[in-house]
Amino acid sequence: MRSFWAALPTEGRWLLSTVAIQTLGRGLTLPFTLIYLHEVRGFDLGLSGTLMALIAIVGLLVTGPGGALTDRYGARAILITGISAMIVGNVVLAFATTPLVAGIALVLIGFNFGVSWPAFNALIAAVVSGDLRQQYFGINFALVNLGIGVGGIVGGIFADVDRPGTFTAIFLGDAISGLVPMALLLGPLRHVHGRATAPDDGDEAPAVSYLSILRQPAVRWLTALTFVAMFIGYGQLEAGLPGFARQAAEVSTRTVGLAFAVNTAVIVLLQFTVLNRISGRLRTRVMVVMAVIWAGAWGLLGLAGAVPGGAVAVAGVLGFMAVFALGETLLQPTVPAMSNDLAADHTRGRYNAISAAAFQAGAIAGPVVAGFLLDHDLWSAYVVLMVVGCVAIAAMALVLERHVPETANGRSPEAPAEVAS
């Protein structure tokens, strides 16, 4: 960690030093928004779920324009716009008493997610490069989990459905946390615009569009891999896992909550070690290892469903989240680093937007499929589908390896082959 910090430019240190504080506000509200809409504001459960879906839907719709605008106006300008929308959205949601007002607030929050994701990754890539970039993405992911985890604990202790003012307070706290990155962008990082001018190749140079980017085999395979990874990964954490744990494994809600705490703890504790182990290795091979680990995790969850209601089921659910978290520490540094290494400076926003769209589409499709299978008591088919998805990730990673340049695959030009193999 000391050597990594010493190698970071000043701008990178500013960006990284406040990540946990920024995301603490998101942790305050993330687990409790549905509860707030349903139990505090009195919206029926179906309407509350539909309102919550606005975040993902709007985020997916604006990701593409957000990436193009990032390349045109710079990551800093787009981040300031997105964070402003998030702050306003949380303030409005804190006092929303009608579905219409709550919907407007959630649209603003979804807009922030959609445009800020590619912009933030592009800003990171503008500040750090090479193997340092991969390490940065990994450490940033650990700090995001730390902030959200701590925020969730604080929110769980403070929020009380019998005291609506406590929910107003946590949403205002989420809004206030947005002032931290805003202060950085307007202060120490005001000169880091994250915008690059396209090279002058003459009048005949073709315009860089999303379609032309997706024509590259490496981008197509990486996008498909990202979608499947999100479908069987994060797309299941909010819906599939809790549903399976409660209905098939028959464990308590306390066990489900503890499982998420275990997930956060493993990521925070192991991310640094994992980064050291994968440094200099082919990212596609790291993805294969991640797929194998995730397949093992789903096997543990299947065991929990096969022996429900007892200590084995509890151990299976907790073990799933711990092993799954280990796979996350391999995935999160590699995919965004590869996407940014494939991009040119002036197209980085669009490359990150494609990756973000694949992530969001998988996170939307995952709960839909999980809900259908679990609603029809197809527990075994659910686990088998997740394992098949892991096999597909490993296969796609090996195909991707044939198309991606070695430099984007984590191998420096001067590195000998045996180091990266």
| Whether 387 contacts 303, CB under 8 Å | no
Nearest C-alpha neighbor of 364 from the set 63, 36, 11: 63
Nearest C-alpha neighbor of 410 from the set 402, 396, 420: 420
Average pLDDT, the chain: 88
Residue 46 above 90 pLDDT? Answer: no
Residue 308 CB-half CA count within 13 A = 11
Altogether, the residues listed in the chain come to a count of 421
Residue 418 above 60 pLDDT? Answer: no
Share of the chain above pLDDT 90, in %: 48
- Structure tokens, 186: 């307007």
What sign results for the dihedral spanned by CA atoms 85, 90, 91, 92? positive
Query: pLDDT digit string (tens) for 98-107?
Result: 999 999 999 9
Residue 417 above 50 pLDDT? Answer: no
DSSP state of 36: I
Query: pLDDT digit string (tens) for 232-276?
Result: 988 888 778 888 888 889 988 788 878 888 998 999 899 989 998
Burial of 164 (0-12, 13-18, 19+ CB in 10 A): middle
Beta strand extents in 19-78 (DSSP E only) = none
Q: What is the pLDDT of residue 352?
A: 92
Query: pLDDT digit string (tens) for 4-13?
Result: 888 888 888 8
Q: What is the pLDDT of residue 393?
A: 97
Q: Which region holds residue 410: left if phi is over 0, alpha if psi is between -120 and 50, else beta?
A: left
Q: What is the pLDDT of residue 9?
A: 87
Q: What is the pLDDT of residue 23?
A: 87
410 to each of 3, 126, 261, 293, how far by Cα in Å? Answer: 19, 18, 31, 20
Q: What one-character-per-residue DSSP string does 186-247 give?
A: HTTTTT-----PPP---TTPPP--HHHHHTSHHHHHHHHHHHHHHHHTHHHHTTHHHHHHHH
Task: State residue 160 phi and psi, 5-degree precision.
Answer: -145, 120
Query: pLDDT digit string (tens) for 287-337?
Result: 999 999 999 999 999 999 999 989 999 999 999 999 999 999 999 899 999
The separation between CA 152 and the C-alpha centre of its own chain, rounded to angstroms, equals 16
Residue 200 above 70 pLDDT? Answer: no
Query: pLDDT digit string (tens) for 114-125?
Result: 999 889 988 888
What the chain holds in terms of domains, given with CATH numbers, is 1-190 (1.20.1250.20), 210-411 (1.20.1250.20)
Query: pLDDT digit string (tens) for 357-380?
Result: 998 898 888 888 888 888 888 999
Q: Name the least confident of 246-250, 396-400, 409-413.
A: 409-413
